[in-house]
Amino acid sequence: MKFYNRISEICRNHKKVALFVDMDGTIVEYRVFPENFVTTETKEVFLNAEPLEVILKNLEKINEIDNLDVYILSLARSFIIVEEKKQWLKKYAPFIREENYILLNKENGDYNAENREFIKSIKMMEKLNEYDYVILLDDDHKILKRTLNEIGKNGEVFHVSSATM
């Protein structure tokens, strides 16, 4: 409830807010696989990943705030994983509109090892022409710190542990 209250407060103080939510380790269990496994053998592995239900329930309630849009902002190493993430979202987070999925694909060149830590802040900043405040919910400390530095007074970041309260 604390997370919901904080997001509500932010929305009261801004005209239009975008909340960007990571997937792996944030709304879905995080499973670690060897690099070659991820690109060659992952069929249906992501589909069977467990949802983090407490987080999803909080996001569903937050999604009802009038001046806030929830986006999924997630990295995927392959085309297969992008498609599985879409299917997973439709099953476990149907309250998030599909047009609000920003799934960056490494195979497609959307991100790489050099820009992995700041590609999310770039995508968020691209939305500042539509929103006056942006928020990131993620589990990766490096990405959170980098994003906070990049967005400055135009936004805020939260570690996933904040959304469990």
Check residue 47 and give its pLDDT.
77
Helix axes 2-12, 53-62, angle to 10 degrees: 30
Check residue 151 and give its pLDDT.
94
Check: CB of residue 136 under 8 Å from CB of residue 120.
yes
Closest by alpha carbon to 135, among 50, 62, 29, 28? 62
Structural domain total, the chain: 1
Mean pLDDT within 120-138: 96
* CATH number, domain with residue 122: 3.40.50.1000
pLDDT digits (tens, 9 = 90+) for 51-88: 999 999 999 999 999 999 999 999 998 898 899 999 99
**Beta-bridge partners for 17:** 68, 133
Closest by alpha carbon to 163, among 47, 1, 41? 1
Query: How confident is the prediction for the chain on average, in pLDDT?
Result: 91
Q: How far apart are CA 164 and CA 32, in angstroms?
A: 22
* Total-model pTM: 0.91
Q: How far apart are CA 21 and CA 78, in angstroms?
A: 19
CA distances 67 to 13, 96, 100, 132, 152, Å, are 10, 15, 15, 11, 21
Domain that holds residue 87: 2-164
The region of weakest confidence among 13-22, 31-40, 74-83, 121-130 is 31-40
